[in-house]
Structure 1
Amino acid sequence: MTWRTAMERALYGETGFYGRGERPAAHFRTSVHASARYAEALAGLLATVDEALGRPPRLHLVDVGAGCGRLLMRILDAVDPELAERVDAVAVELAPRSPSVPERVTWRSVLPDEITGLVIANEWLDNVPLDVVELTPSGPRMVLVDPATGAERAGPVPSDEDLAWVERWWPLRALGDRAEVGHPRCNAWASVLHRLRGGLALAVDYAHGRDARPAHGTLTGYRDGHTVPAVPDGSCDITAHVALDACLDAGATAGATGSTLTTQRRALRALGLTGARPPLGLASSDPRGYVAALCQAGEEAELIDPSGLGGFGWLAQTAGIELPSALTA
């Protein structure tokens, strides 16, 4: 079958990885699990969006691909109590509601029809299934995969839609080059912007740009904290890096009034996370405070490490407000 079909079944089918209720935290480390400082930075972004919208009576905070809901709960804990009272928190997630999620958080499997506020898609788009096209001696061909073993072979000619996307966003230059055809992700992201009546939509993910696409793709499996072969049999999470530049274009077409593409390192540093060690003198005057500050510095350093989480792409697009200055710094 095609990779898109295989991924869909392996991730979201009845016996698929997420279909049976697996949680990301059990299999790989994300910024959400690395430190509460990540949520605190996003809480500051929520406050900025609230101010830009004129402090409306109700403000949406939507987490797409919410997992166990930890990010939403940490953001709510970090914002000013008055703002927290006005926030309608929505978790969009296919897995069942976690028992730890408070009743004030709305749990649903699809996006709200209209959103005014902040939408966060943290490592969501990399799990949107897609097809793979390879340049063969006979021209571009779909890559077919055996879901039980991961074995591949060349298949039919790609659709016109696939070929148009590949030509524009991931040109194939040499025999054996592969493209992960990202228009399903573009469409998924556009569906967020179509619903955004005012505010900010933020996608955070593994990413690459048109001038640096990996020649052989990025399909990867994750299980129990380790990378494993991307076999679409439902036994592991399967991801592929995101062409966020293409998603930006789709969001602009869907109505975004402001757009920027940056890295997590740049964005979080602008939001106040520096990873700087506390002054050594604090160790004598306030040993406990020094240890706490040192732990915080370590967590921030992990979040902004350019070779790790700090290298993630941040795609921010707005509707009806200016882009926050921290995201354009």
Structure 2
Amino acid sequence: MVSKCTWQQAWEQTVTRANIFYRNNQPADHFTTSVMFSDEVANWLARTIQALDDGTELIVTDVGAGGAQLTLALADRLADRPWIQLTAIDLRAAPPSLPPSINWRIGDVRTISLTPARRVVVAHEFLDDIPCERFEVDEWGDARLIIVADGEAVMGPSLADDKACSAFEVNAPALRNWLDTWWPARRPYMRGEIGTTRDATWQHVTGWITSGLGIAIDYGHLLPERTVGTWDGGTLTGFRNGHPVTPMLDGSCNITAHVAMDAIAATRPDNDSTIRRQNEILRGGHVTKPGGLGDFLWLTQAFSRT
């Protein structure tokens, strides 16, 4: 019997279930992030946090904290403000070097509930790891769900076929609505990722904020680029030993896909939002090099009590 599931369902197995990549792997061993070698990211975030500081309790929450590089860098820069608390959340246990002043939560960010508070939530290279569905447009211009059949990615049912998609426990109307809004182009053989799960995750973590900031920093793209075909090949990538590889669903590599940053911003439409490229915020060096980390997008959303 052929084993079939959606790409998102198979990807999920590598994140939290049977084939967990992060159980035996450290991020630094497989890919480079800007927080691993640049003080500029931490400096900018620290200045932004300090600008919010009014001497009352403020909680900085690093979601998908990895090896705690960013959390530790912020702790160092904010050490003279003990009323600013730091919380980090990751699937793995805290690194041995973590000071007791930092609250480390083990678990899936998507299912953790934190008390709403005056808070800065930082998602640095986190949302691109959230599993999502993929689509491919067939020769007639019909968007089809990508499924995994015996380990191979193939075109599955049309997203216009609610019944066929429901056999995979997929809410086809929700996926169609997302595509119509955020990736409306339909060119034969184009591929892409459907960002509903990233939108839901961002909405969840920013729900912990009564007032403060939500900051998402990630490889991303925007509607004008998607419309003209810049990302028609999709953005799904695997990383192993510091190099991009074909994404494998056996837990042997980290799997990522770019984030539709304007779509996640729209989950909080009543808040002031800015989206900027990393090279507009930081200066020089590898973190601003085009084609690499300089292509990061920074979403900043301000929250206030109403």
Same fold (TM over 0.5): yes
**Distance in 2 of aligned mates of 1:316 and 1:161:** 26
Give 2:41's aligned residue: 38
| Offset at residue 137 of structure 1 (A) | 4.2
Q: The residue matched to 2:32 in structure 1 has which SS? A: coil
Q: Please tell me whether Structure 1 or Structure 2 has the larger radius of gyration of its CA atoms.
A: 1
**Distance in 1 of aligned mates of 2:291 and 2:253:** 24
**Distance in 1 of aligned mates of 2:32 and 2:93:** 21
**Distance in 1 of aligned mates of 2:290 and 2:136:** 30
From the superposition, tell whether residues 191 and 147 of structure 1 become closer, same or farther in structure 2 (CA, over 3 Å).
Answer: farther
**Distance in 1 of aligned mates of 2:221 and 2:66:** 24
| Offset at residue 147 of structure 1 (A) | 6.7
Q: Mapping of 1:156-175 within 5 angstroms?
A: 156-158=157-159, 159-175=172-188
Question: Which of the numbers 228, 241, 249 marks the counterpart of 1:224?
Answer: 241
The answer as to whether partners of 1:209 and 1:244 remain within 8 angstroms in 2 is yes
Give 2:153's aligned residue: 152
Q: The residue matched to 1:100 in structure 2 has which SS? A: coil
String of CA shifts for 1:124-154, please: whole Å, max 9, x gaps: 0000100011122462211112474xx2222
Q: Which amino acid aligns with 1:55?
A: G
The answer as to whether partners of 1:64 and 1:91 remain within 8 angstroms in 2 is yes
The answer as to whether partners of 2:121 and 2:206 remain within 8 angstroms in 1 is no
**Distance in 1 of aligned mates of 2:189 and 2:60:** 43
From the superposition, tell whether residues 33 and 146 of structure 1 become closer, same or farther in structure 2 (CA, over 3 Å).
Answer: farther
Give 2:58's aligned residue: 59
Give 2:9's aligned residue: 5
String of CA shifts for 1:72-92, please: whole Å, max 9, x gaps: 11111123x431x11221111
**Distance in 2 of aligned mates of 1:117 and 1:47:** 12
Q: Mapping of 1:114-129 within 5 angstroms?
A: 114-129=116-131
**Distance in 2 of aligned mates of 1:97 and 1:75:** 16
Q: The residue matched to 1:207 in structure 2 has which SS? A: strand
Q: Number of residue pairs matched?
A: 279
| Structure 1: segments with no counterpart, 5+ residues | 269-273, 276-300, 322-329
Say whether 1:199 aligns with 2:199: no
The answer as to whether partners of 2:59 and 2:85 remain within 8 angstroms in 1 is yes
Q: Which amino acid aligns with 1:118?
A: V
Identical-residue share of aligned pairs (%): 35
Give 1:314's aligned residue: 298
Give 2:165's aligned residue: none
Give 1:70's aligned residue: 69
Q: Which amino acid aligns with 1:246?
A: A
**Distance in 2 of aligned mates of 1:259 and 1:238:** 28
Say whether 1:91 aligns with 2:88: yes
Q: Which amino acid aligns with 1:41?
A: W
Tell me which protein shows more strand as a share of its residues.
2
**Distance in 2 of aligned mates of 1:114 and 1:305:** 37
Give 2:286's aligned residue: 302
The answer as to whether partners of 1:147 and 1:233 remain within 8 angstroms in 2 is no
**Distance in 1 of aligned mates of 2:240 and 2:64:** 18
Question: Which stretches of structure 1, 4 residues or more, deviate above 4 A after TM superposition?
Answer: none
Q: Mapping of 1:251-266 within 5 angstroms?
A: 251-252=268-269, 256-266=270-280
The answer as to whether partners of 1:21 and 1:96 remain within 8 angstroms in 2 is no
Q: The residue matched to 1:142 in structure 2 has which SS? A: strand
TM-score normalised to structure 1 length:
0.80
Tell me which protein shows more helix as a share of its residues.
1
| Structure 2: segments with no counterpart, 5+ residues | 160-171
Give 1:135's aligned residue: 137
The answer as to whether partners of 1:49 and 1:118 remain within 8 angstroms in 2 is no
**Distance in 1 of aligned mates of 2:173 and 2:62:** 33
The answer as to whether partners of 1:46 and 1:117 remain within 8 angstroms in 2 is no
